[in-house]
Amino acid sequence: MDAPLKSSHIPALDGRRILLGVTGSIAAYKAADLASRLTQAGALVDVVLTSAARRFVSPLTFTSLTGRRAYDDDDLWGQDAHVLHVSLGRDAELIVVAPATARTLARLATGMADDLLGLALLASRSPLILAPAMDAGMFGHPATQANLETLRQRGAIVIGPAEGRMASGLVGPGRMVEPAEIVGHIRRALGRGRSLSGRRVLVTAGGTLEAIDPVRVIANRSSGKQGFALAQAALDRGADVTLISGPSALATPVGAERIDVETVDQMLAEIQSRLETTDILLMAAAVADFRPSHANEDKIKRGAGAIDIHLEPTADILATVAERRKRSGGPRVVVGFAAESRDLVGQARQKVKAKGLDLIVANDITAPDAGFAVDTNRVTFVDRAESVQELPLMSKAEVAEAVLDRVELILGRQRPAA
Ligand code: CTP
């Protein structure tokens, strides 16, 4: 059996050709991190450095990280120069300029092709992401703002700059956004027009909390990782994604609308208000089955000795969704998740029926490499027809891809009737 891919691998970036333009800012050192992340994700990253960028970092830095040649203006006058700038621009599925200095933005806005990066940008019609980095004063200047506006109107995606302290000592907008966030924007841009574009996907993630008193809660071990991976995978396929999450420190995937909730009732209300506009519901949250029938107003004191907490059942969200689907329609595909400690398939079969699901994704929580908090999962699919498919150990990102493959199959089968 194949080992699961490393968590730095990103299926949506695998084999994708990205041109990274690096211009002359101190943030150029962060471009090395970006090149590394993209390469580890599986992308083929070509790098072009301007002459000012070369003063901060060298082509060798990038060659070492990407395993591919990095270019600078010396290449502009080489034997193949006449085709190089065209091929670099044309072959890239996406171009990202990070950091993008005020000068580069000005050159780009006026179509000035006076170096290799300028030529490649002019030769390309691929999506363009710009991550400006400069002093706050330069960023705020009307000339820079006008250039950015021109570029935006031409379709460039401008991300940041972030607020913070700059090399000049000024504090304000001017810092390049972090590489992890740039990767998120690249995924979003590459996802456009892909298999789930135009679909509205609602994902729930993490665990719910129910209060015992103002301090204590009933929680569970869910980390939210599988749900967040599903949201990201749906974004990678071009979907509009809303992520309803229990408390989680995980970063929101770029492009997802995130709604934070704590209790089952809050989660139910947020889902219900979106059912009509949802095409696909992926219910990965670990929803509490019971809650204290009464939350103490004051903190319960220790002196009282043993206490009894009476628990009452919470609303079954998926059962409510199933009711609604029967009555007035609703999401075209509903996927449930089940964490089981025994009789995995039997339980999953029963739940797929009882909860009116199209698919259930079940995992055995007794396995050490699957389930809560870890980055891997070993799941079994059971569909409406009760057919069973066991998947090998995978990263949670790969499980998310497999779930969405099944969702697309289900949607495909529905299409003739729709
Ligand atoms: N779920 C839900 N509402 C609840 C509890 C669970 O919608 N109050 C959803 C979960 O998000 C998950 C699916 O139902 O997608 C299965 O959850 P699970 O806890 O395994 O199912 P239960 O019906 O609670 O069954 P069990 O008795 O095994 O806990």
Candidate of 351, 379, 382 to mutate for ligand 1, largest count of ligand atoms within 8 Å of Cβ: 351
pLDDT band at 230 (very low <50, low <70, confident <90, very high): very high
Per-residue pLDDT of 93-105, as tens digits, reads 999 999 999 999 9
Structure-block tokens of residue 91: 């072959």
417 pLDDT higher than 50:
no
Q: Is the CB of 283 under 6 A from ligand 1?
A: yes
State yes or no: is 296 an active-site residue.
no
Taking the centre of ligand 1 as the mean of its atom positions, its distance from the CA of residue 289, in whole angstroms, is 7
Structure-block tokens of residue 151: 């570029």
Candidate of 318, 343, 372, 380 to mutate for ligand 1, largest count of ligand atoms within 8 Å of Cβ: 318
Quote the pTM value: 0.93
Taking the centre of ligand 1 as the mean of its atom positions, its distance from the CA of residue 25, in whole angstroms, is 51
How far is residue 34's CA from residue 44's CA, in Å, rounded to a whole number? 12
How far is residue 25's CA from residue 161's CA, in Å, rounded to a whole number? 13
Per-residue pLDDT of 198-221, as tens digits, reads 999 999 999 999 999 999 999 999
Structure-block tokens of residue 201: 């996907």
The candidate with the shortest Cα–Cα distance to 98, out of 23, 192, 210, 185, is 23
Residue 126 burial by Cβ neighbours in a 10 Å radius (0-12, 13-18, 19+): middle
* Ligand 1, atom 17, residue with closest C-alpha: 338
Per-residue pLDDT of 129-174, as tens digits, reads 999 999 999 999 999 999 999 999 999 999 999 998 877 787 889 9
Structure-block tokens of residue 157: 């995606």
Q: Give the nearest ligand 1 atom to 204 CA.
A: 11
Q: Is the CB of 291 under 6 A from ligand 1?
A: no
Quick check: bond before 253 cis, omega within 30?
A: no
**Residue 1's pLDDT is what?**
44
